Amino acid sequence: MSARRADSGGIAVIGLGRFGCHLAGSLTRMNREVLAIDRSPEKVQRWSAQLDRVVQADATEEGALRQLGISSFGRAVVAIGASVEASVLTVLALVELGVPQIWARATSEKHAKILASVGAHHVIFPEAETGDRVAHLIVSRLLDFIEFDDDFAIATVRVPESLAGRTLLDLRPEERYGVRVVGAKLPGERFRYASDGTALPQGGVLIVEGGIDQVQRFAGLR
């Protein structure tokens, strides 16, 4: 899968229930190109005034998604909650169309296992995830993300390849990127508190804190 392709194109949000609408609204406020899809004409009409692009379609049908140009989208979120069958069939259709990043809502652990087995790359539980938080995870390379009210976030991110091996003293991320690295870990090991002498591990994961925009920009470094 091409990370560059996943980062490009719009984001399709399929299913305009409470979670899907909240997510689509959050992504729109982040100036992302969003295509919202639902099979219900009432829901499409209700949300067409609040979202830029809302269409009525049966997302379980691969042909319908193909006509909408979904294969050119970098990411799709299956937010369908009322029907397990519809959510699974929609994920299968997206897989067939080659969408590089597929996020899917699960209503139970069993549902989550099915979604993962048929090709969903990320499975989310709306009862534990807010639309704003999921929106930040979808549009960035953040592995996890906690947002606070005063434009402050703590996140886990993969070590950018261009920074691997450099120490925090040499890198000075607070001055250069506006974030503070508070922890680091190698694959298979536990997180350790970071100090000036900490070298960013190749293939490792960091815990960083700072302003939301700064954290996202740091996570996007190559």
Q: Is the pTM of this model over 0.75?
A: no
pLDDT at 13: 95
Reduced DSSP (H G I as helix, E B as strand, rest coil) percent helix, strand, coil of the chain, to 5: 40, 25, 35
Q: In the predicted model, is pLDDT for residue 4 greater than 50?
A: no
Handedness of CA 95, 76, 220, 135 (dihedral sign): negative
Tokens of 56: 């009525």
Lowest mean pLDDT among 1-5, 61-65, 196-200: 1-5
- Nearest partner of 17 among 131, 123, 102, 136, judged by Cα: 131
Q: What is the pLDDT of residue 137?
A: 60
3-class state of residue 102 by DSSP: strand
SS (H, E, C) 40-60: CHHHHHHHCCCCCCEEECCCC
DSSP string across 4-15: HHHHSS-EEEE-
